[in-house]
Amino acid sequence: MKSRYSIFSLARNAMNYHKDWERAWRSPTPKSEYDAVIVGAGGHGLATAYYLAKNHKLTNIAVVEKGWLGGGNTGRNTTIIRSNYLQDPSIAIYELARGLYEELSHDLNFNVMFSPRGVMMLCQTEHEFRAFKRTAHANRLAGLDCRMITPEEVKKIAPIINDDPNCRYPILGAYYQPRGGTGRHDAVAWGYARGADSLGVDIIQNCEVLSIRRDGAKVAGIETSKGFIKTKKVGVVTAGHVSTLVQTAGLRLPIESLCLQALVSEPIKPVLDCVIMANTVHGYLSQSDKGELVVGGGTDPYNNYSQRGSFPALEHTVTALVETFPIISRLRMLRMWGGIVDMTGDRSPIISKTDVEGLYVNCGWGTGGFKAIPGSGFVFADTMFNDRPHPIAEPFGLNRFLEGRLIDESVAAAVAH
């Protein structure tokens, strides 16, 4: 067990000029066999390992990562946390995650900087207004603390917004989730990694999984760049790269990989203390604790593994936001980046057993995986441990595509994709 971070440990280490902090997680060499292996050390993978160890006491497990921990989509998103989805199954899983986020810093003894600063989803057309009203009713029925607010309230919460009623997309109101907000994306990965490691989980970085080896209908293990690892249970949590990996086990997934871009401006003084999503014009905006404006938009439309993205998608996002927030027009953008997101036909994730015994997939989070990390890990760990879907994960099974039981969230997900 690791020593806990506290005011006393800070003081103690300050005495030694901070030279004696122990490593947050080990770098073990892989054992030849594990009870379960998670492929992908992003937020979802690490959370899965953490809850497998914590809730199910399964500690002879490993998380195997091609690059470095948290270096994929966990480090490439816009850190928004909310649960105001339309369909019941989505509300259930995203609200489970949001609730866990509230306690996460405490649970992990690691500050994930969850900041429930409120999420506003602007209504800029009559249709959007009605659609969000419907979502608001669905959310209220599910017990979520959400409401529609007037243009005046929008202006009060976010004074930088352009409230000119004659602009192309005027503000007609907004759908507001006061308990949504943002978190520190890297800290979520690091916190889960440290938590899982201290429970005995091996986190193996720089170890690419080349294929999944089968023994008939069962999983036998994984071939990696560091040799073969024997295991009976493999959980694949590799976002955009999931379809090529499970193909090595003879499995097809209803997934297409696209590039989603985001960008940040130079840091400025605080101008915005909530998250604003403008779906009609395809953009979302929040301000980081460092003062950068964090901007995200829609995906590039075509299949893409380049992690780079195109200028037209960026331009589309920025043009739209400049009209809604005129003061950002002369901001310099410091950085942009792209992440490869895995898109399903109904824009809802897949948390499922597969036809191969012992092979589980957790993917298809598309443009909105970060907000779901704790909930996703929680139910996926339960699904893997008990070899049956957790009740909250059950609607997200692969069989929904066979049965035509889709969870259509392409509208509620709030971005063009």
Partner 1 sequence: MLIVHCPVCGAEGDETDFHYGGEAHVARPATRDPADVSDAQQRDYLFMRHNPKGLHFERWRCDRGCGKWFHAARDTMTMEFKATYGIGELPPRELMKAATGEWAEFFKDKLAKGRKA
Given the complex with partner 1, which of 17 and 302 has the nearer CB atom? 302
Please identify which residue in the block is written with the tokens 């003081």. 11
Judged by CB under 8 A, does residue 255 bind partner 1? yes
Based on the number of CB atoms within 10 Å of its own CB, is 349 exposed (0-12), middle (13-18) or buried (19 or more)?
buried
Judged by CB under 8 A, does residue 306 bind partner 1? yes
Among 32, 55, 244, 386, binds partner 1 (CB under 8 A): 244
Q: Which residues pair with 121 in a beta bridge?
A: 175, 277
**What are 139's two structure tokens?**
């959310």
Judged by CB under 8 A, does residue 20 bind partner 1? no
Helix (H) or strand (E) holding 70: none
Choices 78-86, 178-186, 203-211, 252-260 (CB under 8 A): range interacting with partner 1: 252-260
Among 109, 125, 280, 310, binds partner 1 (CB under 8 A): 310
Judged by CB under 8 A, does residue 254 bind partner 1? yes
> At CA 256, angle to CA 99 and CA 391, rounded to 5?
35
Judged by CB under 8 A, does residue 243 bind partner 1? yes
Rounded least distance, CB 312 to partner 1, Å: 5
- Distance in angstroms (rounded) separating the CA atoms of residues 278 and 304: 25
Given the complex with partner 1, which of 14 and 402 has the nearer CB atom? 402
Among 159, 227, 267, 312, binds partner 1 (CB under 8 A): 312
Helix (H) or strand (E) holding 8: helix 7-15
Rounded least distance, CB 88 to partner 1, Å: 21
Q: Which residues pair with 213 in a beta bridge?
A: 221
Choices 7-15, 88-96, 302-310, 407-415 (CB under 8 A): range interacting with partner 1: 302-310
**What are 396's two structure tokens?**
């997200």
Q: Is residue 62 a contact partner of residue 31, using CB atoms and an 8 Å limit?
A: yes
Binding mask 373-402 for partner 1 (x = CB under 8 A): ----------------------------xx
Choices 105-113, 174-182, 248-256, 386-394 (CB under 8 A): range interacting with partner 1: 248-256
**What are 159's two structure tokens?**
């004074």
DSSP state of 187: H
End-to-end Cα distance, the chain = 44
Rounded least distance, CB 342 to partner 1, Å: 8
Farthest CA pair distance, the chain: 67
Judged by CB under 8 A, does residue 305 bind partner 1? yes
Chain residues binding partner 1 by CB under 8 A are 241, 243-244, 247, 252-257, 301-306, 310-312, 344-345, 401-403
